[in-house]
């Protein structure tokens, strides 16, 4: 770097909760700018790069803008990374130590203006390590306090709120203490029809030993979930692995004890009538699917609700699921089909998936068909849509796209419209995703705060009110996470749009048959760039493009000399 050349400083800010109070993102950035201006120069402060993560915890470095900053630091010569406070980077001493070592190796200083730490000096580095130790201690103390509150709550065996598991509903129970105060709590109350279905699911799985066959049975008999949706293998497994249905008996006590579960109940409490209540069973992270924690992290008590599945039976089901998991394998998928994830059934709206027949056509190509997933899972009980001839349908789609490309002006205009539609949709999705993540983080923080307050309010009139708030927040959080997952799926589907458009437009405009020379994967990616969906009605396929507000239909694909489906003559 030349002597008079301005150095590139970086400002990083983070806040785990979206709020306009206290050390907001804007306040952190402004204070960091002032520090750079006063210690270095106003010009360097003005041209400083800014990276900000709002709604992310300091317990992990898995934050989008932080990762982008570290990626950029390997391409651009940063002079220093400036933060308002040390824990804005991390509360984990291990992560922090590795970060400082990495930055030091690349001659990038780290400055925390609140603690007045600067790694350009040996004393600054030493003091920073000491401060980071206390940051981690604070984080672990908070986590321990939350776990202590959970222990206190688990002693009661009550339901903490949220969406009740299939077969139960939440019921508020009140009682008057010796000092005349009204104490409220929630417990699970059986719903006879739903409980009967839960028992049936266990019976069918024990008989078949298969999630797929259990799923097929439920579809054929028209059983639906608590929210009225069709069952999936994921939903069925959730019921089969939920200990809430297990009767607290000797077999249950033995199994839980042997697996290192933290039990807040004596063996005498396992009375063979009540169910099991497991706390801290899942890891819930904003915007991500729940993950089940190891059993040695569970906190288990005997619940106030009646159990429905004997402990021995529940344990047997877990063993069967474990065996199935160890023997599971991925069935080979068709490596030639182009419309996976685009082709949907006109009757039931479910996706149609490719299936190899094991035969070859005259051109030496593998013959495959598209069949409705709902039809396959229910063995035709819920849908009877005719299968589509995959080779013919894919070829016709490609032929129509090539026709579209023959008129250069029309095709260029079409691609421009398509790109505008997808880019606009994606920008809207990205904005909504950011907002949802902020709302989810805010919601999670509110729940944690209420859980801490609940332990202090045990036995008071406020307890019932706090429980109701927790339940409402939990339901709101689940709804937000579901919407976030939907938006992320949409964004993921179009993530390649901007990178791919120039290539495919050039290829199709210069060589009309250029798409024939593409690999199967390139063809798939291109079709997903311009096609919104393809609807199969058993005879004809309607193709909906992204341009023209997302619904442009290609010419009728039934005008083919080849059979339109495998059932046709």
For 149-200, give the DSSP string: HHHHHHTTT----SSPPTTEEEEEEEEE-TTS-EEEEEEEEE-HHHHHHHHH
CB contact at 8 A, 91 and 139: yes
| Tokens, residue 516 | 């024939």
- φ, ψ at 477 (rounded to 5°): -60, -40
CB 282 within 8 A of CB 477: no
Residue 554: predicted pLDDT: 42
Say if CB 369 and CB 353 are below 8 A apart: no
What rounded mean pLDDT belongs to the chain? 75
* Domains identified in the chain and CATH numbers: 8-151 (3.40.50.1390), 168-327 (3.90.1750.20), 392-545 (no CATH)
Q: If DSSP codes are grouped into helix, strand and coil, which group holds residue 484?
A: helix
**pLDDT, tens digit, 9 for 90 and up, residues 33-84:** 999 998 889 999 989 999 988 777 766 778 888 888 988 888 888 999 998 8
CA 141 to chain centroid, in Å, comes to: 28
Report whether 202 contacts 313 (CB < 8 A).
yes
**Cβ of 550: how many Cβ atoms within 10 Å?**
14
Tens digits of per-residue pLDDT, 194-227?
999 999 999 999 998 888 889 889 988 888 888 8
Cβ-count burial of 197 within 10 angstroms (0-12 exposed, 13-18 middle, 19+ buried)? buried
User: Tell me, what's the pLDDT at 510?
Assistant: 46
Contact 214, 200 (CB under 8 A): no
pLDDT for residue 482 is more than 50: yes
Contact 298, 330 (CB under 8 A): no
> Which tokens hold the place of 350?
């479910």
Helices (DSSP H) in 73-178: which residue ranges? Answer: 93-105, 122-154
Q: Report pLDDT for 255.
A: 93
Side by side, the strands of the sheet bearing 388-389 are 352-360, 366-372, 388-389
Q: What percent of the chain has pLDDT over 90?
A: 16
The three-class DSSP label of residue 254 is helix
Question: For residue 262, which phi and psi values (nearest 5 degrees)?
Answer: -80, 105
Contacts of 424 (CB under 8 A, 6+ apart): none
Count CA within 13 A, CB hemisphere, residue 363: 6
pLDDT at 374: 85
pTM: 0.48
Residues 6+ apart with CB under 8 A from 285: 291
pLDDT at 553: 44
Closest by Cα among 397, 394, 386 to 365 = 394
Q: Cα 63 to chain center, whole Å? A: 15
Quote the percentage of the chain above a pLDDT of 70.
65
Q: Are 161 and 471 in contact (CB under 8 A)?
A: yes
pLDDT mean over 178-187:
66
**Banded pLDDT at 569 (limits 50, 70, 90):** very low
Cα–Cα dist 280/275, whole Å = 17
Q: Does residue 564 or residue 185 have the better pLDDT?
A: 185
Cα angle for residues 143, 146, 150 (degrees, 5° grid): 135
pLDDT at 248: 93
pLDDT tens digits for range 340-382 = 888 999 998 888 988 888 788 887 788 899 999 888 888 888 8
pLDDT of residue 490: 60
Backbone angles phi, psi at 46, to 5 degrees: -70, -35
């Amino acid at each position: 770097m030349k002597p008079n050349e301005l150095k590139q400083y970086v400002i990083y800010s983070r806040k785990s909760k979206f709020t306009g109070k206290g050390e907001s993102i804007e306040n952190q950035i402004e204070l960091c700018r002032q520090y750079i201006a006063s210690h270095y120069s106003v010009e360097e402060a003005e041209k400083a790069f800014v990276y900000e993560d709002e709604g992310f915890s300091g317990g992990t470095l898995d934050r989008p803008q932080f990762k982008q900053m570290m990626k950029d630091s390997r391409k651009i010569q940063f002079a220093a990374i400036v933060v308002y406070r040390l824990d804005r980077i991390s509360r984990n001493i291990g992560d922090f130590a590795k970060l400082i070592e990495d930055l030091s190796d690349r001659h990038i200083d780290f400055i925390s203006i609140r603690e007045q730490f600067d790694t350009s000096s040996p004393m600054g580095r030493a003091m920073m390590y000491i401060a980071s130790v206390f940051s981690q201690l604070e984080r672990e103390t908070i986590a321990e306090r939350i776990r202590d509150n959970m222990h206190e709550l688990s002693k009661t065996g009550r339901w903490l709120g949220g969406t009740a598991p299939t077969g139960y509903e939440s019921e508020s129970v009140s009682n008057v203490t010796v000092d005349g105060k009204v104490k409220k709590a929630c417990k699970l109350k059986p719903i006879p029809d739903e409980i009967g279905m839960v028992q049936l699911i266990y019976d069918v799985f024990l008989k078949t030993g298969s999630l797929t066959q259990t799923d097929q049975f439920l579809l054929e008999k028209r059983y639906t979930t608590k929210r009225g949706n069709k069952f999936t293998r994921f939903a069925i497994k959730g019921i089969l692995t939920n200990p809430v249905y297990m009767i607290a008996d000797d077999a249950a006590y033995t199994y839980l004890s042997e697996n290192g579960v933290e039990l807040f109940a004596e063996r005498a409490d396992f009375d063979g009538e009540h169910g099991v209540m497991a706390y801290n069973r899942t890891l819930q992270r904003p915007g991500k699917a729940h993950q089940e924690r190891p059993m040695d992290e569970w906190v288990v008590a005997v619940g106030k609700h009646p159990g429905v599945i004997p402990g021995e039976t529940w344990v047997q089901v877990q063993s069967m699921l474990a065996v199935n998991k160890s023997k599971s394998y991925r069935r080979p998928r068709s490596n030639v089909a182009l419309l996976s994830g685009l082709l949907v059934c006109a009757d039931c709206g479910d996706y149609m998936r490719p299936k190899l027949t094991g035969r070859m056509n005259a051109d030496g190509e593998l013959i495959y068909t598209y069949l409705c997933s709902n039809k396959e899972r229910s063995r035709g009980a819920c849908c009877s849509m005719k299968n589509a001839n995959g080779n013919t349908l894919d070829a016709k789609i490609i032929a129509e796209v090539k026709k579209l490309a023959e008129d250069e002006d029309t095709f260029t205009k079409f691609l421009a419209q398509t790109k505008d539609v997808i880019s606009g949709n994606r920008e809207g999705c990205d904005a909504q995703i950011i907002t949802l993540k902020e709302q989810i983080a805010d919601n999670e923080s509110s729940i944690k705060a209420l859980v801490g307050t609940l332990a202090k309010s045990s036995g008071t009139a406020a307890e019932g009110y706090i429980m109701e708030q927790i339940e409402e927040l939990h339901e709101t959080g689940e709804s937000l996470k579901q919407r976030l997952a939907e938006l992320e799926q949409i964004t993921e589907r179009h993530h390649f749009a901007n990178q791919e458009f120039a290539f495919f437009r050039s290829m199709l405009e210069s060589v009309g048959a250029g798409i024939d020379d593409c690999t199967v994967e390139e063809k798939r990616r291109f079709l997903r760039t311009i096609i919104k969906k393809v609807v199969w009605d058993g005879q004809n396929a309607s193709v909906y493009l992204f341009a023209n507000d997302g619904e442009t239909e290609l010419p009728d694909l039934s005008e083919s000399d080849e059979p339109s489906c495998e059932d046709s003559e």
